[in-house]
Structure 1
Amino acid sequence: MPAQFFDQTSASGYLVHMSTWYVYLLRCKDNSLYCGVTTDPGRRLQEHNAGDGKGARYTRARLPVTLEAVESFPDKVSAYKAEYAVKQKKADRKVEFLRRISVEVNEEHCLHSEF
C-alpha cells in the first residue's frame, strides 16, 4: 500500500489518515459558523487562527475560531458534496446535519468497499 495511505501525525499533533477527507465547522467569535474541507483538521484550525492569510477571508474577520464539529468522509468528492449540503442548512441545524450525513456516507462506502 502506498505510504500516503498510512496514518501519520500531522504538524498540529493530530493523527490523520492520509486518504481521509474531513468536513469541519468552526464557531467564530461573532458566534457564526464556517464550514470547510481539509485532510488535516488540526492544521487547518491553526491556519484559520493564525490570521496570516492562510485561513478563509470569512474567518480572518471573526477570530478566534474554535472547532465546533468535524466528520470524516472516505474521499474528496463526498466531502465536498457534504460541505455544499451543510452550507445549505440554517446555522442551528448544521452540526447535527453534518454528523448525520457523515454516518450515511460512511455506511454507504462500507457497503460498497471490498475487504
Structure 2
Amino acid sequence: MYFYFVYILKCSDESYYIGITNDLEKRFNEHQSGYKIDSYTYKRRPLTLGFYQEFNDVLQAIYFEKKIKGWTRAKKQALINGDFDMLQILSECRNATHY
C-alpha cells in the first residue's frame, strides 16, 4: 500500500509552499538541497516542514492539496499551529447573506 503526503513548507521569506508526495523525507530533502533551480523553494531556503497529512488515497490527497492552496495565509497558519478552533472561525462565512 502506498501513502501520500500533503505538506506545507515554511520558507525563509515567510511564504508557504504546499505540495504532495509519496516520499516525504526524500521530497523535503530535494527542496532543502535545491534539487531544481527553477523551483519556487530554491531561492527561499532554508525551509522547515510546517505541516503534513498522510493519505491512503491519492485522489483524496490531491483534493486536500488543492483545497488548502486556496486558503488564506491565516488559515494555513492555523493548520500549521494545530489551532483547530481558529481554523473553524476562519472558515465561517462572513458575508451578509449567510444565515
TM-score when scaled to structure 1? 0.64
Once residues 68 and 44 of structure 2 are traced to their aligned partners in structure 1, the CA distance between those partners, rounded to angstroms, is: 20
> Which letter does structure 1 place at the counterpart of 2:72?
K
Between the two proteins, the alignment pairs up a number of residues equal to: 81
Q: Secondary structure at the match of 1:70?
A: strand
The aligned counterpart of 2:55 is 73
**Structure 1: 5+ residue runs without aligned partners?**
6-18, 101-115
The aligned counterpart of 1:40 is 23
> Which letter does structure 2 place at the counterpart of 1:60?
Y
> Which letter does structure 1 place at the counterpart of 2:51?
A
Q: Which has the higher contact order (CA 8 A, sep 6+)?
A: 2
> Which letter does structure 1 place at the counterpart of 2:54?
S
**Structure 2: 5+ residue runs without aligned partners?**
85-99
* Aligned partner (choices 68, 72, 75) of residue 93 of structure 1: 75
Identity fraction in percent: 32
List structure 1 segments (4+ residues) > 4 angstroms apart after TM superposition.
Answer: none
Q: How far apart are residue 52 of structure 1 and its match?
A: 2.7
Aligned CA RMSD, in angstroms, stands at: 2.0
